[in-house]
């Protein structure tokens, strides 16, 4: 199940241990409200992922994700299917996503969703794109 991201469900979300450090900065992005295209995915009553698209203009979007502590490998297929269906509804030219190298399942998720590796951004991150 997917629901729009809001203050209540964001406050209840528990990030995966490996992403706890970036969760606080993610919450600060929404101090003035939630733009379109932000969501939370559930497996039953357990939240598994928060995600969103930030409109950069001109049909370009920046995609962000934070995995929840309840995320399992078998959730990848659901996330990919939902993401691709959602992106097909948008008129986009490109979707950009920066992923961490220390989270190997994100590379698999990106390639399964049709993203391609572009370049290393920093020592610990990579830039992927979907055209």
SS (H, E, C) 12-25: HCCECHHHHHHHHH
* Gap between the Cα atoms of 127 and 41, Å rounded: 23
Q: What is the pLDDT, as a whole number, of residue 76?
A: 85
Instruction: Give me the pLDDT at residue 1, please.
Output: 87
How far is Cα 40 from Cα 88, in angstroms, rounded to an integer?
Answer: 19
* For residues 57-68, average pLDDT: 92
Where are the extended beta strands (E) located within the chain?
2-4, 38-43, 46-57, 60-67, 94-100, 116-122, 125-130
What domains can be seen in the chain, in order of their start residue?
A: 2-130 (3.40.630.30)
pLDDT tens per residue, range 7-43: 999 999 999 988 888 888 888 888 899 999 999 999 9
Q: What does the pLDDT read at residue 100?
A: 86
Instruction: Give this prediction's pTM.
Output: 0.86
Res 88: pLDDT = 87
Tell which residue, 18, 104, 111, has the closest CA to residue 66: 18
Q: What is the pLDDT of residues 63-96, one digit of tens each?
A: 999 999 999 888 888 888 888 888 888 889 999 9
The backbone torsions φ and ψ at residue 4, rounded to the nearest 5 degrees and listed phi first, read: -65, 145
What band does 49 get if pLDDT is binned at 50, 70 and 90? very high
């Amino acid at each position: 199940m997917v629901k729009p991201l809001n203050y209540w469900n964001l406050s209840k979300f528990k990030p995966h241990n490996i992403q706890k450090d970036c969760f606080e900065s993610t919450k600060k992005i929404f101090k003035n409200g939630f733009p379109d295209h932000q969501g939370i995915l559930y497996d039953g009553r357990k939240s598994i992922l928060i995600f969103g698209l930030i409109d950069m203009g001109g049909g370009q979007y920046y995609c962000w994700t934070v995995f929840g502590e309840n995320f399992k490998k078998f959730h990848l297929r659901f996330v990919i299917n939902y993401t691709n269906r959602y992106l097909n509804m948008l008129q986009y030219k490109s979707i950009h996503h920066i992923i961490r190298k220390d989270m190997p399942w994100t590379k698999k998720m990106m390639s399964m969703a049709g993203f391609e590796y572009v370049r290393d951004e920093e020592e610990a991150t990579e830039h992927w794109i979907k055209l």
